[in-house]
Each structure stands twice: as structure tokens, then as C-alpha cells.
Amino acid sequence: MKTIKGPGLFLAQFMGDQPPFNSLKSICQWAKSLGFVGVQIPTWDSRCIDLQKAAESKTYADEVKGLVQECGLEITELSTHLQGQLVAVHPAYDTLFDGFAPEKLRNNPKARTEWAVQQVRYAAKASQNLGLNAHATFSGALLWPTVYPWPQRPAGLVETGFRELANRWLPILNEFDECGVDLCYEIHPGEDLHDGISYELFLQHTNNHPRACLLYDPSHLVLQCLDYLEYIDNYHERIRMFHAKDAEFNPTGKQGVYGGYQSWINRAGRFRSLGDGQVDFKSIFSKLAAYDYAGWAVLEWECCIKHPEDGAAEGAVFIKDHIIRVTEKAFDDFAGTGSDEKFNRSVLGLK
């Protein structure tokens, strides 16, 4: 067994225009003061990192790594959630997702997709230059508008959609393989990879690519009423990243999973700060430790009630208290009698 690393902090939800949230150095110093020992870096925020430069210049990557280390932290992983989303976009969402791309690429889906693919490819090399072994992203979605089959999905539509999704991601996955980095898809509503079955479909169409791995975030599974503990049993061999994010699901006679178009605070399913929701983190940390998860526990804050700075401060302590320092000995070693093959056969009554 291995002891999980952490606590780490995903910086995306904390970056802002005011100190200490407006530069990588100052936000790292702030994170360190709260007790974090690692940071996950969003690559679309130039205040944190120049992704292309990190991919093309080992010297620059070393400078970024050194800055974080000077603050007493490690880089846990890089993230291309926004760019990965744009690798595959259904036309119904073109206008909404254009905001994730540079302004010059808006109203040009083909150019936007090409940019997104290049961005994720940069992330493979940047991760290698930084000495990282895992990377976080989204799969994007071509099929999501048809997730509820009404009107009826045409025969073969799902097959066509996953075949195209795989075609877009296979060259990227191969590049990550060349760089020695696992590409971890966050299973998330709104993505074509939104549960276990859809992930398995993706694996089938990518020939079970060894780098097509998982970012485990129980909050998105709670909101789908999915068994997030059994999920670990099913996919632990592919889980390479872990977002510690809490959630709660409280259905009523008026709304359930779909939320009735309500704001986050009024939905039956909503995200909460660590310890304020329904996720059984004791069992999660136990399972991950038992399955030899060797990565980080990274706080992702998305609470609809609590202030983010309070959520971060409490979250650092919460993760630290849940990390299990795994044992190197068995509890009953004291009662061991020692044995050899001859002794074992005698115990069994064998000659």
C-alpha cells in the first residue's frame, strides 16, 4: 500500500485580480500558509503558466517548478479542463463554449478545435518538462444533447459519436504516452465521459489505450446517484488523480437530478465544501490506500454556500486528517510462529 500525497489545492477557482490571488508566487505562498503542500495549475490562466513556453522550453518549466518549490510546495499536476472541453463540441454549444477560446477563434469551430488539440498536446510535453506523471482534462462532448433519448436517438448514433471522439483523442493520447504522462479524464456531466459505462465505451474505441486514465471526483458521481465507492472497485487500476470535492443530493417532490433549471443553491444536487456534504471520504481514502493509489488528494472548491477562503483553510486540514499513513506491518505479526514448507505440510496433516 502507498500513502496518498497531499493536501493539494486546485488553483483554478481561487485565481483573481486581487492579491494574493493574482500571481503564481503569491497564491502559492497563501496556499502554503494554509497547510497545503501541493498545487494543481490551470494552464489557461497566464498568471499561472505559459503553457506553450513550458512545452517548448525546459528552462522555463524549471523556472516555474522552482518558483513553486521556493514557496514550499510541489506541482501536483497541470489541468487543461477548458481546452479539453473544446476538443469536441456539439454545434448546439458553439456560442456558449466560444468563451473558453481566444477571441480571435470565436465563430470558427474548426480553428477552435485545432487550437484546443494543440493546447492539450502542449500539456503533454509541459508535464514531461515539469517531471509530472499525470494530467487533468475533460473529454468534450458530441453526444451530450442526446443524453436523454427523446427524441429517439437514431440507430448507430452513439457508435458514430464515440468513434469520432476517439479519433480526435488518439493522437493526443499517443503523445502523452511518448511523454510518459497519464491523461486523466474527469468524469463529469456535460462530457461524453460522464459515468463508468461511457468511459468504457471510450476505452473500447481507443483500444484500451494505457494512457486513457481517470480523475476521480466523487461529487459528480453523487449528483448522478452513482455508487462512488463501487466505482473505485471497478476502475481503481485507471484512477491516477483525485479531486477531493464534497456534494449533497436532496431530492424532493418537485425536483431531482435535473434540478428544474434552478441556481446551484436551489438545486437538489449541489457542491459543498469538504465535510459539509454527504460524501463518505473516510471510505474513499481507505479504498484508495488499499488499492495502492500513488497520487495526490487535491482540493477542488466549488461550494455554493461557503466562502472560498474558508473552504480552502478547512479543506487543507480535512484532507490532512483523512490521509492514511499506511502500515508496513500486519497487526498480528506478534503472534507469528514462523514456518517453512515442511511445517506447513505438517499443519495440514500432509506427509
Would you state the pLDDT for residue 60?
Answer: 98
Among residues 53, 180, 41, 166, which one has the least CA distance to residue 124?
A: 180
pLDDT exceeds 80 at position 337: no
Q: How much is the average pLDDT of 139-147?
A: 98
Distance in Å from the first CA to the final CA of the chain:
37
* Cβ-proximal residues to 92 (8 Å cutoff; 6+ apart), any chain: 145
Specify the DSSP element, H or E, that contains 322: helix 308-322
Q: With contact defined as beta carbons under 8 Å apart, do 252 and 217 qualify?
A: no
Q: How confident is the model at residue 342 (pLDDT cuts 50, 70, 90)?
A: confident
pLDDT exceeds 80 at position 333: no
Would you state the pLDDT for residue 347?
Answer: 83
Cell of 171: 493522437
Q: How confident is the model at residue 64 (pLDDT cuts 50, 70, 90)?
A: very high
What region does 6 belong to: left with phi over 0, alpha with psi -120 to 50, or beta? Answer: left
Would you state the pLDDT for residue 36?
Answer: 98
Q: How much is the average pLDDT of 310-322?
A: 98
Over residues 107-142, the pLDDT tens digits come to 999 999 999 999 999 999 999 999 999 999 999 999
Average pLDDT, the chain: 96
* Cβ-proximal residues to 162 (8 Å cutoff; 6+ apart), any chain: 143, 192, 201, 202, 204, 205
Q: What is the CA radius of gyration of the chain?
A: 22
Would you state the pLDDT for residue 127?
Answer: 98
Domain boundaries, the chain: 5-347
3-state secondary structure 218-262: HHHHHCCCCCHHHHHHHHCCCEEEEEECEEEECCCCCCCCCHHHC
What region does 36 belong to: left with phi over 0, alpha with psi -120 to 50, or beta? Answer: beta
Would you state the pLDDT for residue 59?
Answer: 98
What is the rounded distance in angstroms from the CA atom of residue 119 to the CA atom of residue 166?
Answer: 17
Cell of 92: 448546439
Q: How much is the average pLDDT of 191-210?
A: 98
Over residues 258-300, the pLDDT tens digits come to 999 999 999 999 999 999 999 999 999 999 999 999 999 999 9
Would you state the pLDDT for residue 290?
Answer: 97
Residue 272 bridge partners (DSSP): 246
Q: How much is the average pLDDT of 236-264?
A: 98
pLDDT exceeds 90 at position 1: no
Q: How confident is the model at residue 328 (pLDDT cuts 50, 70, 90)?
A: confident
Query: CA separation (Å) from 160 to 17, 140, 154, 164?
Result: 43, 15, 10, 6
pTM for the whole thing? Answer: 0.95
Over residues 14-38, the pLDDT tens digits come to 999 999 999 999 999 999 999 999 9
Would you state the pLDDT for residue 351?
Answer: 76
Query: CA separation (Å) from 185 to 195, 230, 258, 298, 331?
Result: 11, 18, 23, 15, 37
pLDDT exceeds 90 at position 191: yes
CATH number listed for the domain at residues 5-347: 3.20.20.150
Would you state the pLDDT for residue 287?
Answer: 98
Compute φ and ψ for 215, nearest 5 degrees. Answer: -100, 115
What is the rounded distance in angstroms from the CA atom of residue 68 to the CA atom of residue 223?
Answer: 34
